[in-house]
A and B are shown apart, each in its own frame.
Chain A
Amino acid sequence: MKVKELSDIIDGRVLTGEVGLETDVTGMYACDLLSWVMSHVNKGNAWITVHTHLNVAAVALLTEASCVIIPESISVEEATIKKAVQEGIVIISTKLSAYEICCRACKAGI
């Protein structure tokens, strides 16, 4: 599944423009401890986190996550979005909770 399709499935809103939407999603990962995320996210995973600060972009870049999903309509800092766009990282906002995101992704075959 592509990032764009996943975004549609979770009623997502892509905050970072057109870049990276055709990347394949290899799995889902939900966690907010950044060290844990660093060592457990696999390349291509969609990463769900409530953090919205700039280091989210750095962690996504280093782990090669296919996208970052911010749940429950948490607002994302403009600087984070700007940085993500620069680095080609996709950030998706959705009103769903992390649990609901995973349920929908699972139903869709991820």
Chain B
Amino acid sequence: MGLSNVLKLHFDIPANDFVSAGEASSSVKKTLSQLGIAPQVIKKSAIAMYEAEINAVIHANGGTADIEIDQDKVIIKIQDEGPGIPDLDLAMQEGFSTAPDTVRQMGFGAGMGLPNMKRYADELKINTEVGRGTTVIIRVNFA
């Protein structure tokens, strides 16, 4: 890619659809692989995005994912119009979860989604408003 080139991708994250949950992350992972990005960077991006994608499915009736890839980073924006997060500090704690039992039975809802995003993103921004929705912005640097 040239210096001015930014590759943009857009995905809709469908509501309550565990069947296709993970499709967007898988697709971004493939794109990063094709661009020759380092495997460790791809892993960080894929895990952080997958967690955000799953959260949108579980908690917010889905949403959208917008990805921007330039020569030195990937920015992943997951946006939903769900219930918002009332206490973000609490939600960031490992093990804290508000996921319903049905979702836990599938192996989700361990309270590791947001902590995993924080661990694997080089920068994590969360804008959330109760009743309006949540936007998660994940930046992963290539070097």
A46-84 vs B, CB cutoff 8 Å, 1 = contact: the mask equals: 000101011100110111100000000000000100000
Tell whether A38 is near chain B: CB-to-CB under 8 Å.
yes
**Residues of A with C-beta under 8 A to B71:** none
Decide if B29 touches A61 in the complex (CB within 8 Å). Answer: yes
CB distance from B102 to the nearest CB of A (A): 12
Point out the residue from B23, B43, B119 that lies within 8 Å of A58, measured CB to CB: B23
Q: Which residue of B lies closest to A34 (CB)?
A: B107
- Chain A residues, CB < 8 A from B46: 62
CA of A54 to CA of B22, assembled, Å: 9
- The complex places the Cα of A34 from the Cα of B97 at a distance, in Å, of 14
Binary flags per residue of B87-116, CB closer than 8 Å to A gives 1, else 0: 000000000000000000011101011001
| Residues of A close to B119: CB separation below 8 A | 39
Known contacts: A38-B47, A38-B50, A39-B116. The answer to whether A59 contacts B22 by CB under 8 A is yes
A residues with a Cβ closer than 8 A to B are 32-39, 43, 49, 51, 53-55, 58-59, 61-64, 79, 87
Interface size of B as a range? 20 to 34
Which secondary structure dominates chain B's binding surface? helix
**In the complex the two chains form, is A61's CB within 8 Å of B26's CB?**
yes
Contact status A58-B50, CB under 8 Å: yes
Q: Are A55 and B18 in contact (CB under 8 A)?
A: yes
CA distance A53 to B29 in the complex (A): 21
B66: min CB distance to chain A, Å: 19
- Given A53-B106, A61-B29, A62-B47, also A33-B22 (CB < 8 A): no
Return the chain A residue nearest B108 by Cβ: A34
Interface of chain A, main secondary structure: helix
Asked if A62 and B107 make an inter-chain contact with CB atoms under 8 angstroms apart, the answer reads: no
Q: Which residues of A contact B110 (CB under 8 A)?
A: 33-36
- Given A43, A49, A51, A58, which contacts B26 in the complex, CB threshold below 8 Å? A58
* A-side contacts of B113, CB under 8 Å: 35
Q: Which of A32, A58, A63 contacts B21 (CB 8 A)?
A: A58
| B107 pairs with A43, CB closer than 8 A | no
- The distance from the CB of A7 to the nearest CB of chain B, in whole angstroms, is 23
Which A residues are in CB contact (< 8 Å) with B86?
Answer: none
